[in-house]
Amino acid sequence: MFDELPSTTRVSPFALTPEDLATRHPPNDPAYLFRRLLRVRTWREGLPDLGSEGRAHVDAHYDLALPEVISQSSSDDGSTKLLLRLADGAEIEVVHMPRAVKNPRVTLCISSQVGCGMGCRFCATATMGFRRQLTAAEIVAQVLVATRELGPEDSTRITIVFMGMGEPLQNLPEVSKAIAILADERGLGIPVGRITVSTSGLVPQIDTLAQLPVRPCLALSLNATTDAIRSSIMPVGKTWNLQALREALLRFPLRSHEKITLEYVLLAGVNDSDDDATRLAAFATGFRHVVNVIPWNAWEGVPYTETSEERLQAFVKRMQDAGVLVTVRRSRGRDVAAACGQLVRAQEKNRRSPRLPVML
């Protein structure tokens, strides 16, 4: 779509605000260029209206290459996993999840790191280990690639969740820069109320997130109700215990109608007892919340099993009886390994099987 020049002298513009553009090889109209770059239609139809001089300027100074789409895998439930290759060859994944046929909206589950070093025992991504941080431009580019291929063109219909590869709060400088770009009304204009950062529970970084000028919503991947169990399945629990986490959530400043999401992956016989439900309900009191119960997706080599439907229902009912707002997230994209905690499995599988034709 765009001419290629050696990229050594060029920078990616996807994390540059109009003000940044104005100070770095300023184009004629930085706000115009920003608006054009941060627009889904541009990546479907090409950069219009820059004039030959403007186009030459952009090509000379800015690297407009988006990540290469290596494969896409569609699930029966309508979600699609995109495997992307970055400029240095690193691979990350984005999951595209349409949500309603009428008045369609799309949730994009995006990555913040290549791999992850947090070591959660139930998570397939953890098996990769940490490889590197994503740049803000690479984070924004995931959104551009996914929407270019699968929509929606109207960016106000996009919801972003940082629940793909990586612990976003370990990469807060780049994640926060990307969020500011994604939310900038001069570009994609995705409301901050529709951008959620999910953390495994890094207390100091939760406090830092709370102070961001462009602050996203917060989700905590909780997954246990005692420190002993949490530490055994999430090593971060040895550093920040449940009390410290809860105190961080209690002081997190919520906008009106905003809730903190508590994500709770159910592991049979580990964290799904009635007592766990009671303790979870107690943990969630004192701040506006929604508890997102996630039936775990079993994968080979992990000593956990899936909670039965009966136990799931009993767990949910006990919390509801205690006045907790609960939703059950049936993981989407399960059959393409795009569901929660499954991302790397598809990547490993792709290495072993022929690559799908690039469509995205």
Using CA atoms, how far residue 356 sits from 71, 268, 278, 300, 360, in Å, is 5, 35, 46, 24, 11
Residues 313-327 as b/e (b if ≥16 CB within 10 A, e otherwise) read eebbebbeeeebebe
Is residue 123 at the binding interface for ligand SF4, with CB under 6 A as the rule? yes
Query: Closer to ligand SF4 at the Cβ: 197 or 312?
Result: 197
Among 116, 137, 143, 206, binds ligand SF4 (CB under 6 A): 116
From 81-89, 116-124, 243-251, 304-312, give the range in contact with ligand SF4 by CB under 6 A: 116-124
Taking alpha carbons only, the member of 353, 357, 344 closest to residue 125 is: 344
Q: Which residues are catalytic?
A: 93, 340
Contact partners, residue 7, CB within 8 Å, separation at least 6: 63, 65, 87
Token duo for residue 18: 């109009």
DSSP 8-state assignment for residue 220:
E
Query: Closer to ligand SF4 at the Cβ: 70 or 233?
Result: 233
Is residue 118 at the binding interface for ligand SF4, with CB under 6 A as the rule? yes
Query: Closer to ligand SF4 at the Cβ: 57 or 349?
Result: 349
Taking alpha carbons only, the member of 90, 69, 179 closest to residue 133 is: 90
Pattern 57-86, ligand SF4, x by CB under 6 A: ------------------------------
Pattern 214-233, ligand SF4, x by CB under 6 A: -------x------------
Among 91, 149, 167, 276, binds ligand SF4 (CB under 6 A): 167
Q: How far is CA 69 from the centre of its chain?
A: 18
- SS3 category, 129: coil
Is residue 120 at the binding interface for ligand SF4, with CB under 6 A as the rule? yes
Query: Closer to ligand SF4 at the Cβ: 66 or 116?
Result: 116
From 89-97, 164-172, 310-318, 330-338, give the range in contact with ligand SF4 by CB under 6 A: 164-172
The whole-angstrom separation of Cα 85 and Cα 33 is 25
Query: Closer to ligand SF4 at the Cβ: 119 or 193?
Result: 119
Query: Closer to ligand SF4 at the Cβ: 64 or 116?
Result: 116
Is residue 126 at the binding interface for ligand SF4, with CB under 6 A as the rule? yes
Is residue 183 at the binding interface for ligand SF4, with CB under 6 A as the rule? no
The whole-angstrom separation of Cα 79 and Cα 164 is 14
Is residue 180 at the binding interface for ligand SF4, with CB under 6 A as the rule? no
Closest separation in Å from C-beta 202 to ligand SF4: 9
Residue 241 identity (one-letter amino acid): N
Q: Compute, in degrees rounded to 10, the torsion defined by CA atoms 96, 100, 101, 102.
A: -140
Token duo for residue 256: 């009106």
Among 71, 72, 125, 331, binds ligand SF4 (CB under 6 A): 125
Closest separation in Å from C-beta 79 to ligand SF4: 18
Q: Compute, in degrees rounded to 10, the torsion defined by CA atoms 296, 141, 119, 122.
A: 10
Is residue 21 at the binding interface for ligand SF4, with CB under 6 A as the rule? no
Is residue 337 at the binding interface for ligand SF4, with CB under 6 A as the rule? no
Is residue 140 at the binding interface for ligand SF4, with CB under 6 A as the rule? no
Q: How many CB atoms lie within 10 A of CB 113?
A: 26
Q: Which residues of the chain form contacts with ligand SF4 (CB under 6 A)?
A: 116, 118-120, 123, 125-126, 165-167, 200, 221
